Structure formats: C-alpha cells, structure tokens
Structure 1
C-alpha cells in the first residue's frame, strides 16, 4: 500500500526529489534573481550550470535586498528546462500571501521549496520597510505539509486540490548554541523538511560533529554550504559581517599570497567540496556573481556531470 498523498500521485515528482530519493550525491547552486525586469543575465548564468547541478536555488530577497520575485524567477528557469528550488521567506508575506504563492508555485510546476524565516529588514536596502514575520521557517514547513494534505492554514479543505510541494529547510551547523541547533533541526525534521541546505561552512570538524551527533539517523540529505571566496578582502568582509562564520586565517593567508586570488578561491572551494563529500550527501555552492565558475569548482573536485 502506497504512503503517497493523492496530490503526490497526481503530480510527477521533480527531478531534484528523484535524486534525493535515489540517494545521489546532491549538488545545488545559488542563482540570484535580477534587480530589475530583465532576466537575461540570470538565465545566462543558470544555463552554464545545466548538467552540473541537480537544482538551482532562486533566492528570495536574500539579505533583505530588493530583487525580482523568487517565484517568477523560478518559473523563468523552468521555462528554459532548468530545475529550480524556489526559496520562500516569511519576512515579506502574511499567511494568506504565503499560501497564495505556494498554491501558485504548484500550478506553475515549481515543486521544490526552501522554507526560510528571512533576513532582518535592517540588513537590506529598504531599512524603513515593515517586516511581516507572521510565520517563521518551522511553521512555514508545517503550513506546506497542510497544503500537501489538502487543507489550508485553518484546516479547511482545499476544494481545488492539494499541493505536492517538496519542502526543504536551512541549517547552520556552526550555530554557537549546540542545544539550540539540535532543537531547531529536530523541529524542522518533524515539521516535514525533506532536505537541508547549510549556511556557509568554514569549520569542517564542526560539520562532522553535526553529522555524527545531530543529523545521524534523520534520513534527510544535508547539503554543505560551499562559498567561493574571491580574495582575502572578501574573506575578511565575511568574517566582519556574517554572524557565526569565521573564515580560518590560513585560508585568508592563502588568498593573500596567491598571484591569482580568484583562482585560489576556486581551488579552496573544490577542496571543500571534496571534504564535504566524505561527510554528507551533498553540497550547496554559493558563488555570488560568479556562478560561471561553479563548473570549474566541480571539475577540480572530481564531481562528474549529473544525469538529466
């Protein structure tokens, strides 16, 4: 007897979900939506990743900076034969807006969703805007689970059919509170997260401890966040401005000594992909404004093309 919901039987599952269920080594990459109405550059960058990643994350107002709707950008990728993961943050929508966008995503063929709380407004380029935050990521995961079961936030039936969304969540193995990290991770698993993408990993011993002591036995893939460092200055900026992340001094020294710091950053990222491959089921690569270098990172790490 199948455990699938009626919606899951009615909609074909996404290629990314198939890869998750097949326990492949997963590769995702972050793609930034345009700041304006022309998606040409985003699509050019995304096309370079075709055949190299299982899916591409479309950010949703990352760092509270205005950009094109993640849902619209995800649809554009899909129209070009690319597999999106649509990030959805609680910061900018109330519970009505979240449900409306989730149902719209389903209708438009966007099934992979990353449920996020959202960065604080003051971090971005519209510091006087009002944040909503009616839900946060755990409650958003629970809401997606309800929609997949054919009911809305108020447990009222959806007369026009359930969704079949494949929801994931973020995790930060370098969170300073170990008990807080464990509690929140377990709550996200319980709320229905099917996969986890991590924040930037700079301490792989900490990642190993997380995999052994917290993620072990959860049967959900963890994708380690790999960030392309472009220079020593870039690494120092991250140390100053990204809470919970400390790029090791030896990496900063390597970048500083390098005759070509960007190429050295590619090499460091490739080494980190190799490390992650020994510890978890995937990597999530962030190469802000240099998505074109992701295939080179994967080549140097010995990661083959993915099946179409």
Structure 2
C-alpha cells in the first residue's frame, strides 16, 4: 500500500480549466465498506473525484482517511474531508501524513459540525484548530514543516487542499472575510454548501469570487421528496429549500424523478456561473450519472468540457 500510485486527475483538471464534477459519498457506519465502494463505482468516468465525508453532521461514520484509502485501492480518486472537531493538531498532522503515504492527494479542510447536531451529543469537541488554520497547517506540511516550524525529517507532503464556502450565508461581509482568509491560507479550490438561490450564487461569483483564480464548485443536492426537503430545512443549519421546490415535489406523480429533474436544471444553471458542481445524493449516489445525463454533461472518458462562463452575465 505504501507504493500506491497517487491519483491526481482532479488537480490536473483544475489546472487545465475544465468543467469540474465531484460527488459526495458517505463512509459506512460499521466495518464493511461494500456499499460505499458500490456507490463510488457508479461514478467512475462521471466525476473527477469523490468526496469522503468526515463525521458530517457529527454523525458517527468510518474514518475518512481509511475510507478514502479504500477508494484509492479501487482506482477511484477521493477528496478526503478532514474536520477539526474531533482531533487536536497532533492528530490532524498524523492523519495528513498518513493520507499522503497511502496515495491520497486531495484534502477538503473543514472546521466540522457541532457535536450537538449529531448522534453522540455527550461527546467532547476538540476544535484545537478551525478550517483556516488547518489550511495553513497543510501548506506548512507541503513545504516540509510541522505546525511548530520543525522539519518533517521523512519528507514533505503533497496535498491539494480545498475549502468549503456558503454563498447563501446571511452575512455578506462575513462571507467575504472568510473567503479571503481561506484564499490567503492556501485554498486551491472551493466546494459550496447546497445551493438553491442561484441569484445569490451569481452575486457571490461576481462580487467575491471574481479574480480569485480558484474554481468554485456549486453544491447540487438530490431532493427525493417534499418530506425530504422539509427534513433538510428543519435539520441542516443554514439551508433553506424554497417553498416552490417543495410544492413541485409534493405535486409530482414520481417525486424522486422530479427531484432528479430539479437537480439537473440546477446543474445547468450552476455551470453557467462557476467552474463546476459538487453532487450530493445521500444513499442514491447511483442516480448521479443519470442526473448528469439529464443536464447534458457527458462522461469524462468521452469528453472533457472546458469551463465557459457566460459573458456579460
């Protein structure tokens, strides 16, 4: 495993200015990764890389580094999410060095969801660092130093680091400040939270992200039903599914099929505004390829699409 060849197609696609497609797959809750691998395999040739979550919503799942390593063994390129909630700086650095050693190259640096949102509400949070300081730490490690500026005597890491962004944040000045800090800390790409307000995304792209030179991937979420959308509004902080989308799902003869159409429409809107999309289809990752087909996005193996923003939007 130490000789595992790193997978770098995502970094290459970023640098080539291609339209970027990523998707999210959750690690298993248990010791059997079969279902995770099965879902990830449905995405081969359709996405540049697959995000493996790290305790998303503070719900217990397999370690993201190990789950990502399993995908590397399958020839599937992961973006390994690393959150600060559960590890101090020693643990974070140890996991990052381990990730590099087993061929993981893409890291998404996150602060992490609060423990109270999850299924172990009595657990103790760490938060020794937060996402900006974690980005700075990865940059140091890529230059051959630990967080105390001591040399990494057995070699620097080579990690392509990204960050999360929420263009629908209610605080515009806070969004600007946080985005700028992550840029300065070394973020090479940004994946957004679930997007439903595309006018807000356009404003973000024009007024904040413009000139950054870093790709933004808009978060596109498959809503399976009106009930599913209502659950997300109720349980996921900072997300607001508009009532007209909920009504459309409620009135559909086949809500899942309608949800796929909505997601495809959103992919088409997003690709006019930013360099890519990040697809989320919880427990139905096998439908992502069909959504991309509906949106007119061909398989990557057949054709790599250049990013072509709308001029004068």
Distance in 2 between residues matched to 1:13 and 1:179, nearest whole Å = 37
State the distance in 2 between where 1:286 and 1:13 align.
22
User: Which of 38, 49, 53 in structure 1 is aligned with 2:32?
Assistant: 38
Per-residue CA deviation, residues 193-247 of structure 1 (Å, 9 max, x unaligned), is: 0000000001000000000000000000000000000001111112222232221
Q: Secondary structure at the match of 1:174?
A: coil
Post-superposition, which runs of at least 4 consecutive aligned residues in structure 1 deviate over 4 A?
none
Query: What is the deviation of 1:13?
Result: 6.9
**Which of 59, 63, 67 pairs up with 2:61?**
67
In 2: Cα distance, 1:161 partner to 1:118 partner:
28
**Deviation, structure 1 residue 14:** 1.1
The Cα shift of 1:253 comes to 1.1
**CA distance in 1 between partners of 2:6 and 2:278 (Å):** 24
Aligned residues: 298
**Separation in 1, partners of 2:245, 2:181:** 34
1:165 corresponds to which of 149, 159, 169:
159
3-state SS, counterpart of residue 272 of structure 2? helix
Instruction: Say which of 41, 47, 52 aligns to 2:46.
Output: 52
* Alpha-carbon distance in 1 for matches of 2:90, 2:241: 40
The residue that corresponds to 2:284 in the other structure is 290
Find the counterpart in structure 1 of residue 311 from structure 2.
none
Q: Distance in 2 between matches of 1:45 and 1:246?
A: 27
1:266 counterpart = 2:260:
yes
Report what 1:139 is aligned to: 133
Separation in 2, partners of 1:45, 1:307: 18
Q: Which runs of 5+ in 2 are unaligned?
A: 303-313
Is 1:200 aligned to 2:199, yes or no?
A: no
Q: TM-score, normalised by structure 2?
A: 0.94
Distance in structure 1 (CA, Å) of the matches to 2:47 and 2:292 = 9
TM-score, length-scaled by structure 1: 0.95
Corresponding residue for 1:219? 213
Please point out which of 225, 229, 236 is paired with 1:235. Answer: 229
Question: How far has the Cα of 1:250 moved from its partner?
Answer: 1.3
Q: Are residues 1:93 and 2:123 paired?
A: no
CA distance in 1, matches of 2:7, 2:252: 45
